[in-house]
Amino acid sequence: MTSFKSAQLIAGSKDADKVVFLMDRVELGTQSLLDYRGFADDSDSVQATENTDILVAKLKSSDPANTLIVTSIQKMSRVEADSGFNAHDIETIQDKRIVFIIDEAHRDVFGDMLRTIKDTFPNAMFFGFTGTPIHEENQKKMSTTSDVFGNELHRYSIADGIRDKNVLGFDPCQVLTYRDRDLRKAVALEKAKASTETEALTDPVKKRLYLSYMDHTKVPMAGYVGSDGTYIRGIEDYLPNSQYDCEKHRKAVVRDILDNWVTLSHGSKFHAIFATNSILEAIQYYKLFKAETSSLKITALFDPNIDNNGSGIIKEDAIVEIIEDYNARYGHEFRMATYGTFKKDIAYRLAHKEQYKGIEKSPEQQLDLLIVVDQMLTGFDSKWVNTLYMDKVLVYEKLIQAFSRTNRLFGPEKPFGTVRYYRRPHTMKRNIDEAFKLYSGDKPLGLFADKLEHNLNKMNEIFGDIDALFRSAGISNFEKLPDNNAERGMFAKLFKHFNNYLEAAKVQGFSWDKVGGKIGKVDVDLRLDETTYLILALRYKELFSSTGPGLGGDAPYEIDTYLTEINTGVIDANYMNSRFKKYFKAMQDGEETASVLEELHKSFAALTQEEQKYANIFLHDVQNGDVTIEDGKTLRDYITEYMAQAKNDQIHRFATAIGVDEIKLRSFMQLKVTDTNINEFGRFDMLKSTIDTATAKLYLERAEGKSIKPFQVNMKIDQVVRKFIIEGGFDMEC
């Protein structure tokens, strides 16, 4: 939106009559128009141009509403004096103060179209915005972005964006579909002109060549530029394209995508783009995915132009098949003739925009994986895309642009953009290093996500800090929160940091059932198990409830509501019940119970503070012989019964003390309201209208130990009743 904000400032200054955004992609133009309109102030009107005639009309117009215009560079280049337009119209436009803003200025500005626009409007001013300017290292037609637009005015690199947390970093992963040794051996045998290793080693000349290529210090897997500027070829440079354009390789790629799909996509919550090397390969991948799985929702998108040759027929048939499959799945009627609309529908569906806003609530309408060749790898933005799969080799700006489809901010579940690449993986690793070195200003630190081993180590380190915090507060087994607000605040901060590393580790393959095992070559050696983690999550939730939301005053610690949604109901209750049975049996048999009782108390850490309170009351009743243990009932059943009875008593005592209608209060308590919706339809006001103010005043004065002025009574009644309902009740203070 930097370019658009610049346009707003220029238009608002009245220093330009027209501000024209030039786009170079149909889908980019569509998405940018929507973004600009969504970002614009109510006073701004952002104009589209359906055809060149409309473009000319809006350029001629003096209506302030036609100041900001979005159009394509292709359409704009057709507005010239010798292309059939009225010369007077062209002169009228030329007399205006025009500013052209070219977004994504690394593309399509090195050809004739921009030159034509500059020739037609010689007095116009041009600003180029791009995150990946063309430099000397990757110049096009012997030109750089500076040659086209002039010297750089300002730089905010991808490295700056990541460090400022405006976009995410990346987690690139090299996936080998062939073993390095097998590829090296094949190249070495070919260079030695030998068919077997034995043949290569028995001939002195062949042996020298063979061993030279087998030595990674002499011939690396990826080539490089030597100190004299000469390119030194690596093993992957000797591989023919057919090494990867084959069924064996494609099946390995598809298997890797399917094997990692659930983890990387968070159960298909997020979407992915799969970039292939050619249209024919994209078609083959599409068919292979269809044959391998019916659970993933997949489509493909590529240039629909048909050549008059054999491959053109294959391509046309494939496009028809892809569109028909899409229509059948989503209930559309797209055709070859409406391919452009088909593309827009895919873009909106992936971005959850326009008619697909809120589509995450209807998973069957989502698109899981989009197969492309070049489309959507530049300019397309969707925070719902978190993974890029690549079976193609990219360099410099194209690589950065493709990676950047994955790094839009989302939330804790998307800690970084994931990229998995398969073709010539060592060459791609080199290309990634070179591209980020160029576009980070040679400061790539922080651009890439920490790897799994580092994340696990940080989890252990932070857990150690949490453990020390609770121990210093005199709390064993994390059975309750510290009393001190400063210690609670530190726990909130540490647990939040722990979860940042946990979410990253999950995307990289970690799950609690792998603790003590391996993930690839990484030992999963954690100092805590899932039960301990869920106990900590339970304590974290209690931070939220203990602050009394909506009751006035600020919470003394920052709480992430995302973390309060962790499902702690799955903590294993069987262990706690088995400890209780063991303890009860020891009591009946007259055996020593101290050690068993300690085990039972430790298991109480899996309960909330309120549940622990009633578990201990129940246990005290058992020890005094005041309760009869029934067969088939668990410890959890007894705790629930005690809590229900206590809650019933709480409501009765509160209703009596405050003078409110008890039946209406009980009905209200069952609604599970929040502070934001408590008075929906005026229901809280109706409940308060049943309160006997004199009775309530007496209770409040006893509770506070001082008299309350009449004008304060209603405010304090509101506070205490609101708190009682939202907290689900509490024990009376008097």
Nearest to 538 by CA among 565, 568, 576, 559: 568
Question: Distance between CA 126 and CA 391 in Å, rounded?
Answer: 37
**What Å distances lie between residue 463 and 329, 498, 649, CA to CA?**
46, 7, 40
According to the model, what pLDDT value does residue 553 have? 39
247-439 maps to CATH 3.40.50.300: yes
Q: How confident is the model at residue 549 (pLDDT cuts 50, 70, 90)?
A: very low
63-99: burial string, b at 16+ Cβ within 10 Å, e else: eeebbbbbbbbbbbbbbeeeeebeeeebeebeebebb
330, pLDDT greater than 60: yes
> Three-class SS of residue 705?
coil
The torsion region of residue 31 among left (phi > 0), alpha (psi -120 to 50) and beta comes to alpha
Q: Tell me the residue length of the chain.
A: 734
371 phi and psi, to 5 degrees? -95, 130
pLDDT, one tens digit per residue, over 170-225 is 999 999 999 999 999 999 999 999 999 999 999 999 999 999 999 999 999 999 99
Question: Distance between CA 234 and CA 231 in Å, rounded?
Answer: 9
pLDDT, one tens digit per residue, over 235-285 is 999 999 999 999 999 999 999 999 999 999 999 999 999 999 999 999 999
Write the CATH number of the domain with boundaries 2-155: 3.40.50.300
Q: How confident is the model at residue 143 (pLDDT cuts 50, 70, 90)?
A: low
According to the model, what pLDDT value does residue 695 have? 94
CA-based torsion, 702, 705, 708, 712: positive or negative: negative
Instruction: Compute CA 176 distance to the chain's CA centroid, rounded to the nearest angstrom.
Output: 26
370 phi and psi, to 5 degrees? -110, 120
Q: Which range, 80-84, 482-486, 574-578, has the best average confidence (pLDDT)? A: 482-486
Tokens linked to 255? 């298997």
547, pLDDT greater than 80: no
For residues 191 and 411, the model is more confident at 191
Residue spans of alpha helices (H) in 508-529: none
Q: Which range, 18-27, 153-162, 674-683, has the best average confidence (pLDDT)? A: 674-683
pLDDT, one tens digit per residue, over 680-717 is 889 999 999 999 999 999 999 988 889 999 889 999 99
Question: Distance between CA 346 and CA 366 in Å, rounded?
Answer: 10
Share of the chain above pLDDT 90, in %: 46
According to the model, what pLDDT value does residue 554 have? 47
- Mean pLDDT (whole number) for 571-593: 78
pLDDT, one tens digit per residue, over 52-97 is 888 888 898 888 888 888 888 888 888 875 556 678 888 889 999 9
> Three-class SS of residue 508?
coil
Of all helices (H) and strands (E), which one includes residue 481?
none
According to the model, what pLDDT value does residue 442 have? 66
Q: Tell me the whole-structure pTM to 2 decimals.
A: 0.69
Residue spans of alpha helices (H) in 134-192: 145-149, 158-163, 180-192
For the CA atoms of 335, 337, 338, 339, what is the dihedral angle to 10 degrees?
90
- Mean pLDDT (whole number) for 436-444: 76
pLDDT, one tens digit per residue, over 645-670 is 888 888 999 999 999 999 999 999 88
